[in-house]
Amino acid sequence: MDFAYSAEQEALRREVRQFIKENVTPELADEANPESDVERPRGQGPMAAALYKKIYDRGWLGITYPKEYGGQGGDRLTQYIVEEEFTRAGINITLGGSGAPAIMAAGTEEQKQYYIPRLIKREVSFCLGFTEPHAGADLANLRCSAVRDGDDYVINGQKMYTSAAHMSTHIYLMARTDRNAPKHEGISIFLFPMDTPGITVRPLWTIQNNPTAPVGTTYGNSRTNETFFDDVRIHKSCLLGEENKGWRVGSMGLNLDRVGASRYLISVRRDEDIVNWVKNNRFDGYSPAENPAIRDKIAEMWIEAQVCRLMTMRSMSIVERGGKFTYEGSAEKVWAPEHGVRVTEAITQMLGPYTTLLRTSAHAIEDGVFAHNVMGSFQSGINHGSVQVMRDQVARRGLELPSSRRPKKVEAK
């Protein structure tokens, strides 16, 4: 049992912090953040490009990927530490979702050599084409089809909530390749450029769209998209893994996306914010920090945040030992998002009407971060496996409770 980082890891953290202090100006963090301007391509403003180059040069992008593919061959804990610090500073240094791990696990040598170094250098970015209008929690119900035609596949269908589709170079798509196979056995994964003819991206604005949320507020973005595929013809080499074996590849990627620094931080950073705010601010004659009922609630939330942190540490420890989760990742994905909602709602009652004020408003507290969180914090309990599905998994995988007489349990987005 060891609850501390090693001296080396602590040194790394200091190094990252120093780097951020020197390089991440408020303007730059703002530019680099995809939520700060819904129309600007993700992290491709000139300041951001220069920053990412610097981060890359320090060896902090793609840390866990093998050196032969442009990574650092480092461990997940190192990545966690670096990612945590950058996430707190509003800079996303992940490779953007579950595409890269899926390629490493299931891709051909050619695919690995093409995609991984480019993802790390941010020359390539994926949007996720999984969800459809009738396939959300029940993702395997998807209908978007890929039909083999000679050396090509022809794609037709619609994807929902393809966040960042308008500023990604490629899509990581799940489609049905066999209509006659059982639900989970006729699905395949494809990787191809977003400028392939026949793709139409239409914006879907979320309730956070006006004005845009401050950096790292919630999982909710101000813009997402629906994407239409109309006879989109791609070469068969775009297939990732085997045909009709895409379900497992896709699920594996999603599982990896349920743990880690940014998901942990999104749920607990409001705990830090509220403590730091109340200890340094007051409303004229009134200081919420002096109200013992509010203090009690702050402490209660803080304890929960620590549990979120420790569950994340537990997941990291399991990964570091090369072990596998039975339920621990799912537990983290219940506890942290639900805590995120609880702390958000607790803050509304600590700061009252100030919590209604958005970013651009006079008197908004902390750039309106708490208000934006009210609108978006519940999203974290829905995305990437709802808390209901996660609890099912804790119960069935972790505790081995029997399935009820319902259609077979499936891995769901």
Partner 1 sequence: MDVLLNDDENLIVDSAREFLTGECSTKLVREMEADALGYSRELWAKVAELGWQGMCMPEKVGGSDMPLVYLGLVLREAGRALAPIPLHSTAVATLAVARDGTAAQQEKYLPDVVAGKSVWTWAFTERDPRFVPEAVQMSATARGDNYALDGVKLFVDNFPQADYCVVVARTTAGSKGAQGLSLFIVDAKSKGISQKPLITLAKDKQSEVTFQDVLVPKANIIGAAGEGWPIVERMLDRGTALLCAQMVGAARKDIEMAIEYAKFRTAFGQPIGSFQSVQHTCADMQMWVDGGELLTFEALWKIDQGLPASVEVSQAKAFCNEKCEAAVRNSQSIHGGIGFMMEFDLQLWFRRVSAWTMRMGTSFEHRARIAHALIDIPGEVTLGRPLPAAA
Instruction: Considering only residues 11 through 30, tell me which ones interact with a second copy, judged by CB under 8 A.
Output: none
Binding positions for a second copy, 245-304, rule CB under 8 A? 291-293, 295-296
Q: Taking the complex as a whole, how short is the minimal distance between the CB of residue 297 and a second copy, in angstroms?
A: 8
Positions of E strands within 37-151: 126-129, 145-149
161 binds, among a second copy, partner 1, none (CB under 5 to 8 A by kind): partner 1
The entry of a second copy, partner 1, none that residue 193 binds, CB within 5 to 8 Å by partner kind: none
CB of 288 to a second copy, least distance (A): 12
Q: Cα angle vertex 326, ends 248, 239, to 5°?
A: 15
Q: Of 214, 373, 230, 354, give the one whose Cα is nearest residue 284.
A: 354
Q: Look at residue 335 and give the partner it binds from a second copy, partner 1, none, a contact being a CB closer than 5 to 8 Å depending on partner kind.
A: partner 1
* 241 vs 381 by CB, closer to partner 1: 381
Residues 199-233 as b/e (b if ≥16 CB within 10 A, e otherwise) read bebeeeebebbeebbbbbbbbbbbbbbbbbbeebe
336: tokens are 């942290």
Count of residues of this chain found to bind a second copy when the rule CB under 8 A is applied: 9
Q: Report what 353 binds from partner 1, a second copy, none; CB cut-off 5-8 Å by kind.
A: partner 1
Among partner 1, a second copy, none, partner that 382 touches (CB below 5 to 8 angstroms by kind): partner 1
The minimum distance between CB 292 and a second copy, in angstroms, equals: 4
Instruction: Judge contact between 351 and 370, C-beta under 8 A.
Output: yes
- 408 contacts a second copy (rule: CB under 8 A): no
Q: Among residue numbers 368 through 407, which ones bind a second copy (CB under 8 A)?
A: 404-407
- Distance, in Å, from the CA atom of 78 to the CA atom of 176, rounded to the nearest integer, reads 38
Separation CA 119–CA 61 (nearest Å): 9
Q: Which does 302 bind (CB under 5 to 8 A by kind): a second copy, partner 1, none?
A: partner 1
Q: Which is nearer to partner 1, 115 or 325 (CB)?
A: 325
For residue 153, the minimal CB distance to a second copy (Å) is 36
> Which of 40, 295 has the CB closer to a second copy?
295
CB of 412 to a second copy, least distance (A): 16
User: How far, CA to CA in Å, does 139 sit from each of 97, 189, 218, 325?
Assistant: 17, 13, 23, 22
Q: What would the two tokens of residue 131 be?
A: 């969800």
Smallest distance from the beta carbon of 295 to a second copy, in angstroms?
Answer: 7
284 binds, among partner 1, a second copy, none (CB under 5 to 8 A by kind): partner 1
DSSP one-letter code for 287: -
Nearest approach, Cβ of 40 to a second copy (angstroms)? 44
Does residue 197 have a cis peptide bond before it, meaning omega lies within 30 degrees of 0? no
Q: Of 105 and 204, which CB lies nearer to partner 1 in the complex structure?
A: 204
Nearest alpha carbon to residue 31 among 51, 21, 45: 45
Q: Is 78:12 a contact under the CB 8 Å cutoff?
A: yes
Whole-number Å distance between alpha carbons of 222 and 339: 22
Question: Which residues make up the interface to a second copy (CB under 8 A)?
Answer: 291-293, 295-296, 404-407
